[in-house]
Chains A and B, each alone.
Chain A
């Protein structure tokens, strides 16, 4: 595990996101079991894990949506749970499985996100136009979000997360139900964002995508970090998918189901 402590060699550069001993229990089930992780500033960081691994719970705790039982998170050195308002200014988040104010038009929703953050009307108006253009939504800017397709809904939520030009983007399953063209479009925007100094964290269980897109990756299962580091370090010569299956265990269960071959 490559968990770096603040007093190690990398102190000259504060990580964009630092998780310290985050833990959460729901009833009798421990969802997140003490996760510590450093996401270097300027990295494109993938968080991968099987369903129910605790990815969403961890990201919710890191972004101030869910109060952890133990531990805390730092955004560029600002404690999310001690100074939430300050930390939230630094990040844009795309939570998974969360509704939007979908009786607003797409344009209104993104404007709302900007105004809620206390931005000027002119700046908001200009950025909303450019964001909708970049995400290929300007043709539907006046349509209510409730009438959007699933992929369009993801894109408008992403636009709401980008409006205030955050230093850190936390995206939970950003590519789910997004068509390949829109996905390429989003990736282009994110690549540009990272190359100009921003930090992106995406969670996904599409290994191929993470291997191609990200430079760092953490493998999470059963509420713990199994491996973290640059993608090349973690995959260690194999494909990320093979390495993932090897780390998480399971897989290769081809026994049984013989009847499937005897039509």
Chain B
């Protein structure tokens, strides 16, 4: 039975490759990325072979503890836990509990995260290639540690499965997780700064952590290398006890989960609140705009993109604080304009087959395009204006204001116009409605990349006038070019916006059914 579960998981993984060539390209890119990270970590572990015992011990223990924590937290936060072998699917199969647990635990190793972690962990043996007991300790520790990783992540996902299945939790967690991700740069810089200022702190931390379940398995190699056999013995016991406790927890949780159906919340709410549908004009365009704006707030796939916006100035301010100059802040306006305008380039793909309603009601293409673009513009325009003007209060270099304002407006309007064309003609693979924004979307990754990068290249060409004017101004230093740019950005932008909405609308009228057929492939 264990073998069956393993082969099932293997088969599911392989069949994932067989869907389409684009899928293989996407998986290959993901695989290469993982391979790069794994290779780098292995290189570090091998290099640590020549470091002194204390440093090597500190690095391995803290790294391992971080890995265990990551296995517990990431699937929870991303609500993208690997559910290919969801235990609830085996409810009816009457598999003995012990075999189910063993099978699912081992199956956790099949797949990129499992294999990568195992591989890196085993290479701690290279770090402790100093004496036979140390190598043996490192290998035993690696196996215990990686098993703890896998089982802990199963415990966490099983425990929260019924909570995580509720829509509100999913929505909230998938947005919240964006904040640390976006702020990764400043956070890492802060940690690195703190670490370099207190080098004595880490070995002490590692010594403490090595007595906890998080660090114990990873400390075996180091303890044996420095001859602390008693310590290694106790830590082996700690690791084994941890693993047993985790298995017991998982066993209990799984038994309960298999007989308890998932909670899906929601109680009746009477109507009467039309929200934006009551505020915006009662025309097809107004209705589309109301729907799109409602989605920007309610759908985590859109809302996640929105949370990035207020974090952008934080990142830029941080970078400026590091480098000492505020001139980089001027990029904030145009960049925000690009991010927001381009965010509707896959709008119809986000609709998925719900787009059938637009097709069935026979809404004109131009109403559809204009509604979506205006919805985005409604909040993008004030945000971009603030972000374009704001930095000058810090830099004081007001001569650049008209030029930057022109470029920002140009990017925003041109981008919205181009997005209206792109999303009317091409589909991108995006997370399905209701899925986490992080979930690997189904479908052709190669086509998505082609559409996204091709579209951005076209956008760059359309923006050439504004960009040239920025360059001219920086060469001549004459603010007159900035004023010309302001007029150019606003005028050319609006012209291209109108053109984009009209062309996109016409394409939608002509090719609506074909677009819908493309959307129906993934649902």
Contacts and interface: CB of A to CB of B under 8 A. Distances in A.
Given A101-B357, A104-B294, A116-B288, A139 B514 contact: no
Interface string B240-270: 0000000000000000000000001111111
Given A101-B351, A115-B287, A141 B270 contact: yes
A139 B268 contact: yes
Interface in A49-87: 63-67, 84-85, 87
Nearest to B364: A85
B274 A65 contact: no
Nearest to B432: A99
Contacts of A117: 284, 361-363
B274 A84 contact: no
B283 interface: yes
Contact of A116 (B273, B353, B358): B358
Interface in B422-462: 433-434
Nearest to B514: A67
Chain A contact-residue range equals 35 or more
A213 interface: no
A97 B523 contact: yes
B517 interface: yes
Contact of A93 (B268, B275, B360): B360
Contacts of B354: 98-102
A108 interface: yes
A108 B277 contact: yes
A93 B267 CA distance: 29
Given A113-B361, A141-B269, A147 B167 contact: yes
Contacts of B193: none
A103 B274 contact: no
Interface stretch (A8-16, A118-126, A177-185, A244-252): A118-126
B517 A66 contact: yes
For B267, B354, B358, the residue with the greatest tally of chain A CB atoms inside 10 Å of its CB is B354
A175 B358 CA distance: 23
A180 B264 CA distance: 23
A107 B274 contact: yes
Contacts of B167: 144, 146-147
Contacts, number: 138
A118 B283 contact: yes
A142 to B, nearest CB: 4
Contacts of A101: 291, 295, 351, 354, 357
A141 B274 contact: no
Nearest to B362: A88
A84 B509 CA distance: 9
Contact of B360 (A65, A105, A139): A65
Nearest to B276: A108
B287 A112 contact: yes
A43 interface: no
B359 A64 contact: yes
Given A99-B353, A100-B357, A108-B294, A116 B363 contact: yes
Contact of A65 (B272, B273, B359): B359
Contacts of A97: 353, 523
Contacts of A95: 356, 360
A93 B358 CA distance: 12
A103 B299 contact: yes
A101 B359 CA distance: 13
Contacts of B362: 64, 84-85, 87-89, 117
B434 A141 contact: no
For A87, A116, A139, the residue with the greatest tally of chain B CB atoms inside 10 Å of its CB is A116
B353 A98 contact: yes
A144 B267 CA distance: 10
B360 A64 contact: yes
A211 interface: no
B234 interface: no
Chain B contact-residue range equals 35 or more
A118 B284 contact: yes
B268 A140 contact: yes
A201 B290 CA distance: 32
Nearest to B264: A147
A188 B390 CA distance: 62
A4 interface: no
A142 B277 contact: no
Interface in B5-22: none
Contact of A115 (B269, B284, B364, B433): B284
Nearest to B367: A116
B464 to A, nearest CB: 38
B318 interface: no
Contacts of B353: 97-99
A45 to B, nearest CB: 19
A115 B277 CA distance: 9
A161 B359 CA distance: 12
A103 B269 CA distance: 14
Contacts of A63: 360
A138 interface: yes
B517 to A, nearest CB: 6
B352 interface: yes
Contacts of A144: 167, 266, 298
Interface in B396-438: 433-434
Nearest to B511: A67
Nearest to A124: B282
A203 interface: no
Contacts of B513: 64-67
Nearest to B271: A141
Interface in B297-322: 298-299
Given A67-B514, A88-B362, A147 B270 contact: no
B286 interface: yes
A160 interface: yes
A103 B167 CA distance: 11
A223 interface: no
A132 interface: yes
A94 to B, nearest CB: 9
Nearest to A26: B517
A46 interface: no
Contact of A106 (B271, B287, B299, B352): B271
A132 B271 contact: yes
Contacts of A143: 266-269
A236 B123 CA distance: 77
Interface in B366-401: none
11 contacts: A64-B359, A65-B360, A67-B517, A85-B364, A98-B523, A100-B354, A112-B357, A115-B282, A117-B363, A140-B269, A142-B270
Interface of A: 63-67, 84-85, 87-89, 92-93, 95, 97-108, 111-113, 115-121, 124-125, 132, 138-144, 146-147, 160-161, 164
Given A88-B360, A102-B434, 5 more contacts: A84-B512, A92-B360, A99-B352, A100-B357, A107-B274
